[in-house]
Amino acid sequence: MRSATAFYSLVLPEPDAVAELASQIQDVAIEETGGQALPPCPGHPHPLSPHVVDGVAVWECPRDPARHREPILP
């Protein structure tokens, strides 16, 4: 995998910065793998989407967030 540069505003709250960085890294990973859904959404063909929910950066199903949601950072 190649290196990539990610950008975010230094004034973003930490969860928003984590979600923004995850989104940018995800874009590069998907491009580098020829369109593989990363991270994969369980039971769906699309990737999970990074969002902030209740102050926590999470990966969640873009079609049905109640179906799958997990923290980006442990």
Average pLDDT value over all residues in the chain: 95
Q: For residue range 26-53, list pLDDT tens digits in order.
A: 999 999 999 999 999 999 999 999 999 9
Q: Which comes out higher in pLDDT, residue 9 or 58?
A: 58
pTM score, whole prediction: 0.89
- Helix (H) / strand (E) element for 21: namely helix 14-32
Q: What is the pLDDT of residue 7?
A: 84
Q: Which two tokens stand for residue 4?
A: 């990539």
Give the domain ranges of the chain.
14-26+37-71
Q: What is the CA radius of gyration of the chain?
A: 12
Report how far residue 54's alpha carbon sits from residue 44's, in angstroms, rounded to the nearest whole number.
24
